[in-house]
Amino acid sequence: MSVSAVELWNQSAFLAINAGVQAPAFVITIAKILANWTINLAMILMIHAWVRRGRAVRFALLDATCAALIGLGIAQGISAIWYHPRPFEIGLGRQLLDHAAEASFPSDHATLMFSLAIPLLFCAESRRWGGALLLLGFAVAWSRIYLGVHFPLDMLGAFVVAAFASFLIRMADPLLHRLFYPRLVSIYETALRRLGLPGAIFPRNL
């Protein structure tokens, strides 16, 4: 498939998802909430899982955090090397969310969400958390296309970047889980003890 054919598909798929002039106001409102607040919800879920769940989940959350940092770094690198305009920059569809005119590929929001979700799916103890974040990631992807600030391929690219970042962390897991993560968890639990935070709310030695 030629580049022009891929771009034609990308634009056609965008127009199929993007909010039309008849789009219901309540759907637009839901899309804006998903686009703007989903990452905050993901952070709350991760903090809750870190505080209330045990060692395996905490290690998986650290994997997810590392994958997100790597994924965002790769995404920023791609954006710096190759500029792809956003739909509203070329007059395509409707823009219903304020956004700067900057490189669209890949989506940083989707890269972050997918990078957080995929490593959690690798661990049985954190799989349901990963599933929840993956669903939220797809919701973010849909909302930002629907509101006119991203193309579908921006989201596909984000998923590929996130999967690659997660694979790198997976390969490094033996070293991370043996040398680094136990120290980080120990620092966290030491801080809890020194601060005198109640064990019923902030469990130790899980």
Q: What is the largest CA-CA distance in the chain?
A: 62
Q: Look at residue 140 and give its three-state secondary structure.
A: helix
Instruction: Please report, for residues 52, 125, 130, 192, 196, the alpha-carbon distance to residue 199 in angstroms, rounded to integers and kept in the order given.
Output: 10, 22, 26, 8, 9
pLDDT of residue 3: 61
pLDDT for residue 2 is more than 80? no
pTM of this prediction exceeds 0.75: yes
Residue 202 domain flag: no
Region 193-200 average pLDDT: 86
Range of the domain at 33: 3-195
Q: Is residue 96 pLDDT above 80, yes or no?
A: yes
pLDDT in tens, 42-70: 999 999 999 999 899 999 999 999 999 99
Q: What is the mean pLDDT of residues 62-88?
A: 97
Mean pLDDT to the nearest integer, 176-196: 92
* Residue 10, token pair as written in the block: 């990308």
Q: Is residue 203 part of a domain?
A: no
Q: Which residues contact 33 (CB under 8 A, 6 or more apart)?
A: none
Q: Per the domain annotation, does 155 fall within a domain?
A: yes
Number of folded domains in the chain? 1
41 in a domain, yes or no?
Answer: yes
Average of per-residue pLDDT across 173-196: 92
Q: How far apart are the C-alpha atoms of 63 and 68, rounded to whole Å?
A: 9
Instruction: Quickly state the pLDDT bin for 120 (edges 50, 70, 90).
Output: very high
Compute the mean pLDDT over every residue in the chain, rounded to the nearest whole number: 94
